[in-house]
């Protein structure tokens, strides 16, 4: 009977970038960017396929917990609009309140 050997390819749980993205709750491009930056370890198994170990996913989750990437331009515009609207409405509310009181404290 031939000897069985443990092939490291099959003994460690490994995931594709899409699976890792789903596990971490992010987009696949975020995983690919993290791999390219070196913040997430992966193994290149073929020309286009990278596999990520469970340990690497856990380490990435621990090191990047609660961190969010750069806001998109749409979010930046929305935040500017909200801040501008808040700045405009706050003084208007104060003036309206003063006008109702007759300007007296």
Domain containing residue 13: CATH number: 1.10.1660
Residues near 32 by beta carbon (within 8 Å), at least 6 away in sequence? 17
pLDDT digits (tens, 9 = 90+) for 60-81: 988 887 666 665 666 677 778 8
Do 57 and 86 share a domain, yes or no? no
Do 44 and 80 share a domain, yes or no? no
pLDDT digits (tens, 9 = 90+) for 46-65: 888 999 999 999 999 888 87
Do 33 and 3 share a domain, yes or no? yes
Q: Which tokens go with 27?
A: 């987009």
Share the mean pLDDT of the chain.
76
**Residue written as token pair 């009977």:** 1
Do 48 and 24 share a domain, yes or no? yes
pTM, entire model: 0.54
Do 63 and 83 share a domain, yes or no? no
CA dist 63 and 97 (Å) reads 49
Domain of residue 61, residue span: 1-69
Do 11 and 38 share a domain, yes or no? yes
Count of structural domains, the chain: 2
């Amino acid at each position: 009977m031939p000897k069985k050997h443990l092939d490291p390819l099959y003994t460690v749980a490994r995931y594709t970038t899409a699976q890792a993205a789903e596990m971490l709750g992010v987009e696949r491009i975020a995983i690919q960017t993290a791999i390219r930056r070196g913040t997430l370890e992966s193994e290149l198994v073929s020309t286009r396929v990278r596999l990520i170990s469970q340990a690497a996913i856990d380490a990435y989750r621990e090191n990047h917990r609660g961190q969010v990437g750069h806001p998109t331009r749409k979010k930046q515009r929305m935040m500017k609009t909200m801040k501008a609207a808040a700045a405009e409405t706050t003084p208007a509310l104060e003036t309206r309140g003063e006008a109702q009181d007759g300007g007296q404290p």
